[in-house]
Chains A and B, each alone.
Chain A
């Protein structure tokens, strides 16, 4: 087998894994969009915030310690404990539910019935707000996140591919693990929304607010639930990306990676998010591999967007999106 092809196959596999991570972030977007028509730009910052909170809780950091020290001239930083990951995750989930409640109560309750683009801009404001709060609360230095996920090269794949192609593929254990988690998450979400009472209520709300209200569904509760779910997905994405590259500001930029995924897959479709993620992940890695060296590299920043842009001109609703019908 020619060498280039083998390299391309490795790039392809890595692209698939990266695509899964993009899809994980995109899932959070789809959930909120389906249930409330809000395109939540803050999803990436929520992942950052969740990861920061997780690290902070596990390391026993005092929240807002920098601000407190600045105002009162004290010098406190740590409670002095180290909690196991599971406790940290539970506390973080509670924090994310609280956050969901506050977002609903203070922001989107007042914006019901506004145009989608106004809601979108409100979420940009929310993203700025959360980013600032997260940084003041936990400090903005780069933190290491370790919840005990396997990391490093997968030796089994390395050896078995070496036997076949005479060249060992480099696949990170973490990526494999993330793929598994994403698969479980998607199956769980589909089961939840298809078979549970609350899931059905959620789909009813997505279909028609007023009709759902008239059959006795509590809109506020559903919205808080959806934002909590999105917060949970953000936490999972935050753990994956945080373990991979440390918890830092750039984590919030994964939202920007997920946007073209959504445009490609359609804003309203969970399978669309997965397929879109895979296409983008593979596409940008292969493009960088094949064309990148010719134009100076670093094409990953824009390839996904340009691909989605060209795609949208031909199919504005995305691959799996519902057809947009407009009436005067």
Chain B
């Protein structure tokens, strides 16, 4: 009804091959871009940007990168944190002026513009990624997953010990100095919220478009062939060396950019073990699993989910000081609506099946969770100690990973696809 392809005629090959072949999809995409670029920057303040938008955008880039490697090429990597650290430290070196010592003489580049620093950091990470991707030609599956842990531990240790990497600062930390683009500060303490948001948004949008087209094209098909069965792929003429290493290179490039942004724009100061530890690797992997393996939209969805979850849990369960202005109120309305929708669905279900249980078990669970969330958000938090909330978050994330792997291995992206299929026909049954 709302969403269909009937009457949407294609008259050229270019039309037929576009990213969003359905008109409704295309307009929705333009609308989302318009809201993100033109409306959000006018509405947000520091809290929204730092608690939600920046981590969401940056993790999205990292998740896209990891999704290319895990979801499209089938090579599981647990070294994401280490590669993000490479991006962060490379970006730091470029933006403060790369110095090289040759025979006791120091040669230094001038500081490079922050945008190009980020891109260069991505390239450096791509080289490192290829280096650690080399074993993937010999070993597979979780052998490889464990091997990438070597990258994680070694790189974090390296940036802890290698004084050149942090410019011999006494604390061992790296701090992002103030850098500008077109006279607007992007990094440093004087950054406006909208500026850092727009900077990350531009990079996220560009990288997402590139990733989408890479995975649609020849290289993406090669990756997927390798993922589905690498020996068979080799027989039909895919070069596993090129395919695997290019996946590692592209993936690390993205992750490196994410690491650079995470350090320079989001945190501003980084201690490597804390910011880029093994937990980071797992979080990004979880985003990919929950969002959907092998889907660019899924990377965004997974990142949004895992960024919002802790914020929401904190607002609901821990002592609420309502730091994110208005967020709690907005969310409590959303959950009230969800609760109402669930109740309506339940009532319809009960009337149709003449039973309180048949076919509505999930609905009951959903309705009670939504009701509890709406209640907790409305009264402004349950006031539980924060450590319990943190542990509860571990339980929820772990359970969700298992539930998604069991029930919906293609994650939120697949749920979205199913919903779209339903909308195409609605209100007709067939």
Contact = CB atoms under 8 A, between A and B. Distances in A.
Interface of A: 39, 66-67, 70-71, 107, 110-111, 114, 116-118, 120-122, 124-133, 135-136, 140, 256, 259-260, 262-263, 295-296, 298-299, 301-302, 305-306, 308-309, 312-313, 316, 326-328
B139 A259 contact: no
B395 A132 contact: yes
Nearest to A299: B157
Interface of B: 74, 76, 134-135, 138-139, 141-143, 145-147, 149-150, 153-154, 156-157, 160-161, 229, 231-232, 235, 278, 282, 285-286, 289, 382, 384-385, 387-388, 391-402, 405-406, 409
B394 A128 contact: yes
Name which of A117, A260, A309 has the most chain B CB atoms within 10 A of its CB: A309
- 10 tightest A-B contacts by CB? A125-B401, A129-B398, A132-B394, A128-B398, A132-B395, A305-B150, A302-B153, A296-B161, A135-B391, A70-B384
Contacts of A299: 157
Main secondary structure of the interface of B (DSSP, over half): helix
A61 B149 CA distance: 37
Contacts of B139: 312-313, 316
A136 B229 contact: no
B405 A122 contact: yes
A114 B398 CA distance: 19
Main secondary structure of the interface of A (DSSP, over half): helix
Name which of B142, B391, B397 has the most chain A CB atoms within 10 A of its CB: B142
Given A121-B285, A128-B398, A328-B235, A313 B391 contact: no
B147 A312 contact: yes
A117 to B, nearest CB: 5
A305 B79 CA distance: 12
B76 to A, nearest CB: 5
B141 A309 contact: no
Contact of B138 (A107, A132, A263, A316): A316
B142 A117 contact: yes
A7 to B, nearest CB: 23
Contacts of A117: 74, 76, 141-142, 145
Given A301-B153, A305-B150, A118 B409 contact: yes
Nearest to A307: B150
Contacts of B394: 128-129, 131-132, 135
Contacts of A114: 405
Contacts of B145: 117, 120
A302 B154 contact: yes
Given A111-B405, A129-B399, A312-B135, 13 more contacts: A71-B384, A114-B405, A117-B76, A118-B405, A132-B396, A256-B149, A259-B149, A296-B161, A301-B156, A309-B147, A313-B139, A327-B231, A328-B229
Contact of B405 (A125, A130, A295, A327): A125
A102 to B, nearest CB: 12
A67 B392 CA distance: 10
Contact of B157 (A111, A130, A298, A308): A298
B135 A121 contact: no
B385 A66 contact: yes
12 contacts: A111-B405, A121-B76, A122-B402, A125-B398, A125-B399, A125-B401, A132-B392, A132-B393, A132-B394, A306-B154, A309-B147, A313-B135
A295 B146 CA distance: 24
Contacts of B382: 70
B388 A136 contact: yes
Contacts of A128: 282, 394-395, 397-398, 401
A127 B398 contact: yes
Contacts of A259: 146, 149
A177 to B, nearest CB: 29
A37 B395 CA distance: 25
Contact of A132 (B156, B391, B406): B391
A309 B135 contact: yes
A215 B353 CA distance: 43
B232 to A, nearest CB: 5
Nearest to B162: A296
A39 B150 contact: no
A256 B154 contact: no
B153 A305 contact: yes
A263 B395 contact: no
A94 to B, nearest CB: 22
A328 B149 CA distance: 29
B150 A140 contact: no
Given A122-B402, A129-B395, A130-B398, A116 B153 contact: no
Given A111-B406, A263-B143, A316-B139, A124 B395 contact: no
A121 B147 contact: no
